[in-house]
Chains A and B, each alone.
Chain A
Amino acid sequence: MSENAIAMERTRPNIDLTDHAVTLVIVCLVGLVMNTVGPAIPLADGFVGMVVIYLITMVGLLLTRFAPFYLPSVAWISLVGILATLPWTPGSEWIVEQAKSVNFLALATPALAYAGFAIAKKEIEVAKHSGWKLALVACLVFLGTYAGSVLVAELILRLQGA
């Protein structure tokens, strides 16, 4: 269960684009249900927004597959999303407006549900085997990484006086 698994591969993975295109339709439809149920965004608005998000994702995947240099798919998708919504990009205002009809937390809900279903026997075993010591260390790893980033960012922002 690894959402960054693609990033781990050093060489370009051979993405099956048709397979991804179909699976993404299903995932986006599931996301659309969440978007309508939770944040109560009108279905028609959410639908157009989701089509925009789908297209951004697919362009990102096309680039992952065919760009002259390799970047992980999440990086390409993110870059396409950024480029499509930069103030200087023609039509960006419309894209931004549509994307606003998609709630980011509603998109995360199905991803985490899949993650819950994906827990493997081995992961349960590792968690049990590692015991409370590693669990405690892990909590401090997360706290330390988060707090360290907050402190450095805070310091620089204050120095900048921004």
Chain B
Amino acid sequence: MNALRGQLELWRLHLAVIVLGAIAELIGIQKIPLGIGAILLLPLLYAFVMAALMNPNVMPKFGKFIRQKEVAAASPLIVIAIMPFIAKFGTTIGPAIETIIAAGPALLLQELGNLGTIVLAFPLAVWGLKMGREAIGATFSIAREPNLAIIADRYTLKSPEGTGVMGVYVIGTLFGTFIFAILASLFASADIFDPRALAMACGIGSGSMMAACTGALTEVIPSMKDEILALAGASNLLTYATGLYAGLFIALPIVEKLYNATAGKNDIATANKKEA
């Protein structure tokens, strides 16, 4: 059993995950009241922060117990650790299949709502912050792996567009769970939107973003827990199916055209000046 031996050699990593995870679970969900609502802190957030603080790349001084060997091994383990979580979400969708079908049109079309990133982020990036072609990669999508693949394929990751998408990707990886926990807490406690709509929108990102988002939602609206999990899970599954194509055929062409029609003109003008 080479696989077993390999994992047992990583006992430091698994032990640290158990200890930090248990501490995080014991702290439990905490509410921070704010004027308009409340922000929810979830055990998964504490677990991430505590683990990051023991990571030798983040805190070089503490890099005694967890070494580079464990860091390298941890990356593929995230993929495996998220699998039971996805399976659990699947088991919430089946019993709620009638709810899902009833919400079908909304579920399908809310995928188009992902284009909202262009509406909000593109103007800020191009006109507010005067970013160059980085803005294309940064604002066309939520920058998870399929979207990285699109930019890598079209521009390579070393291009300005690649820098943009990588920047948002890394920020999402480091802070995505926090941002989603906060977004969901605030939207839910504002009490304007249908909880089903909030739940569907939780499925737009990665598994851990969905965890943070639904965790916060179910805490604010516990009476709808089953429905929230089912709709978020269904939306997330749909994102796997449609995300790549929506990014490739809709979002990226729109952002490219917008950029070329606006900031891109200046780029050409500057380039011409330099030549002249």
Interface bits A122-152 vs B (CB < 8 Å: 1, else 0):
0110110010011111111111111111111
Q: Is A162 an interface residue (CB 8 A)?
A: yes
| Docked-complex contact A56 and B124, CB < 8 angstroms | no
Q: Is the CB of B143 within 8 A of A141?
A: yes
A146 — which chain B residues lie within 8 A by C-beta?
Answer: 116, 180, 183-184, 187, 201, 204, 213
CA of A27 to CA of B17 in the docked complex: distance in angstroms?
10
Measured between C-beta atoms, what is the minimum distance from B197 to chain A in Å?
4
With A6-B79, A7-B240 as contacts: A111 and B207 at CB distance below 8 Å: yes
* Complex Cα–Cα for A6 and B206 (A): 12
Given contacts A60-B83, A142-B180, contact A86 B91 (CB under 8 A): no
Whether the pair B94, A26 counts as a contact (CB closer than 8 A) is no
Cα-based distance from A105 to B1 in the complex (angstroms): 31
Given contacts A146-B180, A151-B116, A156-B105, contact A134 B168 (CB under 8 A): yes
Residues of B near A144 (CB, < 8 A) are 116-121
- With an 8 A cutoff between CB atoms, is A44 at the interface? no
CA distance A153 to B117 in the complex (A): 16
| B83 with A149: CB separation less than 8 A | no
Q: Is A38 an interface residue (CB 8 A)?
A: yes
Q: Given the complex of chains A and B, what is the CA–CA distance between A156 and B235 in angstroms?
A: 15
Interface of B is mostly: helix
Give residues 1-29 of A contacting B (CB, 8 Å): 1-8, 10, 16, 18-24, 26-28
Contact of B117 among A113, A116, A141, A151 (CB under 8 A): A141
Indicate which residue in B20, B89, B143, B194 contacts A104 across the interface (CB closer than 8 Å).
B89
The reply to whether A119 and B110 form a contact with Cβ atoms under 8 Å apart is no
Query: From residue B78, how far is it (CB to closest CB) to chain A in Å?
Result: 5
B113 within 8 A of A: yes
- B84-95: CB near A (< 8 Å → 1, else 0) gives 111111111111
Q: Is the CB of B93 within 8 A of A138?
A: no
Question: Which chain B residue lies CB-closest to A20?
Answer: B80
CB 8 Å contact bits of B216-239 with A (1 = contact, 0 = none): 000000000000010001011100
Supposing A23-B80, A26-B14, A78-B237 touch, asked if A130 and B48 sit within 8 A by C-beta, the answer is no
- Is the pair B78, A3 in contact by a Cβ cutoff of 8 Å? yes
B268 at interface (Cβ–Cβ under 8 A)?
A: no
Q: Are the CB atoms of B85 and A152 closer together than 8 Å?
A: no
A104-B51 CB under 8 A given contacts A77-B87, A119-B57, A153-B197 = no
- B93 to chain A: closest residue by CB: A82
Tell me the smallest distance from the CB of B2 to a CB of chain A, in Å: 8
Rounded to whole angstroms, the CA-CA distance of A120 and B164 in the bound complex is 19
Contacts of B125 in A (CB 8 A): 133, 137
Binding site for B on A (CB under 8 A): 1-8, 10, 16, 18-24, 26-28, 30-31, 33-34, 37-39, 50, 52-54, 56-57, 60-61, 72-75, 77-87, 89, 92, 95-96, 99, 102, 104-121, 123-124, 126-127, 130, 133-154, 156-158, 160, 162
**Smallest CB-CB A-B distances: 9 pairs:** A81-B90, A148-B116, A116-B51, A85-B94, A38-B25, A144-B120, A130-B167, A152-B113, A108-B211
What are 5 residue pairs bridging A and B, where the CB atoms are less than 8 Å apart in the complex?
Answer: A104-B92, A108-B44, A108-B211, A137-B131, A156-B105
Question: B residues near A, CB below 8 A?
Answer: 1, 3-4, 6-7, 13-14, 16-18, 20-22, 24-26, 28, 42-45, 47-55, 57-58, 66, 70-71, 74-75, 77-95, 97, 102-103, 105-107, 109-121, 124-125, 129, 131, 134-135, 138-139, 141-146, 148-149, 163-164, 166-168, 170-177, 179-180, 183-184, 187, 193-194, 196-198, 200-201, 204-208, 211-215, 229, 233, 235-237, 240-241
